[in-house]
Amino acid sequence: MWKGLLSFGLVNVPVTMVKATRSKAISFNQLRKSDFSRIQYKKVASDGAEVPASEIIKGYEVSPDRYVIITDSDLEAISPKASRIIEISDFVKLEEIDTRFYDNSYYLVPDQGASKAYSLLLKAMTDANVVGIAKFVLRNKEYLAAIRPTDNVISLSTMLFPDEIVSTKELENDLPANVELSDKELKMAKTLIDSLITKFDPTKYENEYQKQVIKMIEAKAGNEEIIKTTDTTPRYLDLMAALEASIASTKAASKANEKKKSPRKSKKTA
């Protein structure tokens, strides 16, 4: 996803960023019930007319039905400059970071020749129990990030900026107030909590719903409950298969043309 330098002080560590998570969400296509053809989405204006991509521009609504037009040039002029450096500006204690700030997770793995510098930073952060805070640019967007040791790997978590966090003060009117709790109620609740306290083991928790959906799909497929769509739009799921099919088709057409062009031999008379 990204290659560059992880920098702290005068030390630069060449690293490569890779995803630390993978999506396991199951997606479904929408079909028309009558003939199972795929549903397509088109961009249309308020009058219902379809709008081609060449006629679509960006607009920011400043008040109802009033927009400021934003061009690609406007955005390019102020976009952050691409950089190949993640520079740690501060180190903070892990427990000081509110978990609401964490967004997506990645691993930073050392590039060739960076093993010692990488190991040095990893060990030093682990011993000090600190997290590095940095800013970096990925795909023309600036990110705030937390760099920390995770299972003998340096991980990077993109973070939300403070103005992206919803303050709990905004929920004051929706939260209970002046609720009286008896000592007996509190004691019973604490006893129940104490009985459930254990070490966190993520392998204990599975997405049971997703497992049931996969099981149901497999059962339907096994019973041949499969319909054939009437969608005629060509969709090549396998690039090699598509290329091989094209080559075979071209060869067949070439042979047919050669047969047409070649002169027919006259029959010998007895």
Which pLDDT score, from 0 to 100, does residue 125 have? 93
CB 87 within 8 A of CB 130: no
Could you tell me the end-to-end alpha-carbon distance of the chain, in angstroms, rounded to an integer? 77
Q: How far apart are CA 9 and CA 11, in angstroms?
A: 6
Pick 41 or 230 by higher pLDDT: 41
Which pLDDT score, from 0 to 100, does residue 111 have? 92
CATH fold of 2-23+79-163 reads: Ku70; Chain: A; Domain 2 (2.40.290)
CB 117 within 8 A of CB 11: yes
State the chain's mean pLDDT as an integer. 84
Handedness of CA 211, 216, 217, 222 (dihedral sign): positive
Domain locations in the chain as residue ranges: 2-23+79-163
Pick 70 or 229 by higher pLDDT: 70
Q: How far apart are CA 94 and CA 127, in angstroms?
A: 12
> What would the pLDDT profile of 58-82 be if each residue is shown by its tens digit?
999 999 989 999 998 898 888 777 7
Q: How many CB atoms lie within 10 A of CB 25?
A: 6
CB 154 within 8 A of CB 121: yes
Q: Which of 126, 146, 142, 120 is nearest to 20 (CA)?
A: 146
Which pLDDT score, from 0 to 100, does residue 231 have? 54
Q: How far apart are CA 114 and CA 231, in angstroms?
A: 52
> What would the pLDDT profile of 141-181 be if each residue is shown by its tens digit?
889 999 999 989 999 999 999 999 999 989 988 888 889 98
Element (H, E) at 189: helix 183-196
270 confidence band (pLDDT: 50, 70, 90): very low
